[in-house]
Amino acid sequence: MESKQNNNTVDIEKRYKPLVIVLSIVIPLVVALLFGMPKVDGVDLSFLPPIYASINGITAILLVIAVISIKKGRRELHQRLMMSAVLCSLLFLVGYVAYHLTSDTTLYGDLDHNGTLSVAEAAQLGSGAYVYYFILASHIILSIVVIPLVMQTYLKGWANNLEGHRKWAKVTFPIWLYVAVSGVVVYVMISPFYG
């Protein structure tokens, strides 16, 4: 019976691993290409940043509760929470891309909201700009890195490869949590500069 289960686990992972690889490459590439497209005029989605920042916050909460639930042996609750966290991350991505397809980039420190950073505005920022850009850069890089990690961890759990799932989750969880929390921090820091 255990051998049949192991074969089924291997079959599921083999079947879906190519999809994980393709999506891990395609999602960041599509997002990058979308940022290179001209802005869509006549559509105002300026209300989205606080929504997708809140979705990031909800994702972080779901992740923490999911880890607590599995440590307490509540596997079914853990699975539902993780599915919800994945869906929240997808909602975030859709909102983030939609906003950036329809809106100009907001510059950190652009107090007069004219789309440029003057010498006077830059001088007012001080070391706050370094903190902001460090958090933003790490958030962006790790949001790309976390895509295959989440998919591979999820696949191992779905295939009932619990040992593999635990190993991947130990790496995936802190990175995903950082991405979710840093997304909220980036929003809080940039929000005074929205036009």
b/e map 128-155, b = 16+ CB within 10 Å: ebeebeebbeebeebbebbbbbbbbbbb
Q: What is the reported pLDDT for 1?
A: 46
Least confident of 65-69, 98-102, 125-129: 125-129
pLDDT band per the 50, 70, 90 thresholds, residue 4: low
Q: What is the reported pLDDT for 6?
A: 63
- pTM reported for the whole predicted model: 0.90
Which residue's entry shows tokens 């307490």?
72
pLDDT band per the 50, 70, 90 thresholds, residue 194: confident
Q: What is the reported pLDDT for 36?
A: 84
Answer yes or no: is pLDDT of 2 > 60: no
pLDDT band per the 50, 70, 90 thresholds, residue 39: confident
Residue 100: CA atoms inside 13 Å, Cβ hemisphere, count? 17
pLDDT band per the 50, 70, 90 thresholds, residue 23: very high
> pLDDT tens digits, residue range 121-132?
888 888 889 999
